Amino acid sequence: MSQRQLAMVMDLNKCIGCQTCTVACKTQWTNRNGREYMYWNNVETYPGEGYPKKWQQMGGGFDASGDLQEGVIPHIEADYGIPWDYNFDSLAKGEQLKANAPLTWGPNWDEDEGAGNFPSDNYFFYIPRICNHCTNPGCLSACPRDAIFKRDQDGVVLVDLDRCQGYRYCIAGCPYKKVYFNPKISKTEKCILCFPRIERGLPPACAQQCVGRIRFVGFLDDEESQVHKLVHKYKVAIPLRPDYGTQPNIYYIPPTESPVKFDANGKPIEGSNRIPAEELEKLFGKEVHEVVKTLKAEMKKRKETGESELLDMLIAFQHSEMFRLDNNYYQEHAKTKGYKLLAPVDDRYIKGKNTKKISFFKAHA
């Protein structure tokens, strides 16, 4: 366990599946050098098979007694799908349009398909997924070379590329299949929670670019942070598939709002909900029912009284309140450990438990 834990909360009620986070991550980190097929951040449609295909059935994680479980390593063609491109250059020469790889699967292959019958009870929602930076990581536990570590200062899970020998047991061990093998360097790579950005006062690219403002970033022990309030005070943000036993640090506010179902005559069925409660329970555990209750109660309260701290937070008025990156903490850590940290590039998000003073335009001083 790390000294402190940086965490993210994603509000699924507000995710519109625009993939801006996916693209932000891809252009920042994974559009090159053997990472082309990797999606450190992807947004998948649920119900759906996800990326890699059927990742929820691939094993890994821990059983109730805490033993790491066997897992499957997804196949590049069948489960990830090889990223393809078309022969646009050759079209001018009269060639037919064709892809340069077999089209087998991809990160948004079954986007917006969902389940149920249109129009009576069909439904779907989006789940953006990044590495969960677990407190009890399956990938770290599976590595025979002790190449994966959890940073002490903020709990970010990283791969030491000097130690990594490309054995790929981490991929089998991670139940979320968020660790990837880079065939070009024959080593593992994964989401780094944009730590080089965090250390300079910028939130992760996926969070900053999110147009729906669904992502909150902060330290779990920072009582002022919205992340702390959503997870610990209001207890409305819960991890995905807690039954895997890895104690994820990416939390989700489960989707509570959906249109009502229609009966055979096309009439709305009052009080019905298209998203089955058992599906939510499968994804988020039994706690989800309590969360839905809290959210409904707060919405009612807001309607009646016009006041609700929780809903004000979920509206996400200000990035500067959604992200609390505690830059002084990182600077102090660097000083005590004797490494060099660059000055923050943005002072809007540097507040935190150890960063009380906000001096706009003077952050570098």
Partner 1 sequence: MKKIALTLTTIGLISSVYANSVINATKMTTDLSKITVDSKEWKSAKFTDIVLYPQTTIKMNDKNANTKNSDVKAKKAKVAVLVNDKDIAFLVKWADGTKSVQAGHNSSYADGFAIQFPENFSNPKELPYIGMGSEGRNVVIHLQKAVDAFYEPNGNQDVAHQVSRNNSPYFEKELQVFDAKVKAIASNDYQKAYVGAGFRSMTEIKDGSSKFSSDMQYGKKEWSGTLNRPLKDDYLDLTKNGSFPVAFAIWDGENSNRDGLKLLSTWVPIVIDTKNDTLKVVDTLTTPVKGDVKKGQELAMANCAACHAFKGTEGVTPSPYMAPNLSNIGGYSTADYLRESILNPQAALVPGYNRNAHKNFAWYNTDEKGNRTSTMPPFNWMQPQEVEDLVAFLQTLKAEVEK
Query: By CB neighbour count within 10 A (0-12 exposed, 13-18 middle, 19+ buried), where does 364 fall?
Result: exposed
Closest CA to 57 of 149, 155, 175: 175
Amino acid symbol at 182? N
Which residue's CB is nearer to partner 1, number 166 or number 285?
166
- Tell me which residue of 84, 86, 81 sits closest to 96, measured CA to CA: 86
CB of 161 to partner 1, least distance (A): 5
The least distance separating partner 1 from the CB of residue 269, rounded to whole angstroms, comes to 44
DSSP 159-216: E-TTT-----HHHHH-TT--EEEETTTTEEEE--TTHHHHTTT---HHHHH-TT--EE
Q: How far is the CB of 158 from partner 1 (least distance, A)?
A: 13
- Residue 313's closest CA among 302, 300, 329, 325? 302
Residues that bind partner 1 in the complex, under the rule CB under 8 A: 31-34, 36-37, 59-60, 65-77, 80, 82, 85, 89, 136-137, 140-146, 161-163, 165-169, 171-173, 180-181, 183-187
For the chain, what is the radius of gyration of the CA atoms?
Answer: 22
Nearest to partner 1 of 70, 270 (CB atom): 70
Helical ranges in 215-308 per DSSP H = 226-228, 277-284, 287-305
Name the residue nearer to partner 1 (CB basis): 51 or 330.
51
Answer whether 288's CB lies under 8 Å from 254's CB. yes
Spatial distance between the Cα atoms of 220 and 229, rounded to a whole number of angstroms: 9
Q: How far is the CB of 91 from partner 1 (least distance, A)?
A: 13
**Ramachandran quadrant class, 222 (left: phi over 0; alpha: psi -120 to 50; beta: rest):** beta
Q: Are 243 and 285 in contact (CB under 8 A)?
A: yes
User: Which is nearer to partner 1, 37 or 323 (by Cβ)?
Assistant: 37
Q: Which is nearer to partner 1, 159 or 230 (CB)?
A: 159
The per-residue b/e assignment along 19-54, b for 16 or more CB within 10 angstroms, e otherwise, is bbbbebbbebbbeeebbebbbbbbbbbbbbbbbbbb
Q: Which is nearer to partner 1, 168 or 324 (CB)?
A: 168
**Min dist. Cβ of residue 88 to partner 1 (A):** 10
CB of 296 to partner 1, least distance (A): 38
Can you read off the two tokens belonging to residue 146? Answer: 């002790």
Closest CB to partner 1 among 1 and 269?
A: 1
- Closest approach, Cβ 198 to partner 1, in A, equals 21
165 backbone dihedrals φ, ψ, rounded to 5°? -115, 10
Pick the closer one to partner 1 by CB: 89 or 304. 89
Question: 35 vs 319, which CB is nearer to partner 1?
Answer: 35
φ, ψ dihedrals at 303, nearest 5°: -60, -40
Nearer to partner 1, 161 or 315 (CB): 161
- How far is residue 5's CA from residue 239's CA, in Å, rounded to a whole number? 14
Q: Which residue has the tokens 């990830």?
A: 80
C-alpha span between 199 and 214 (Å, rounded):
22
CA 150 – CA 5 distance, rounded (Å): 10
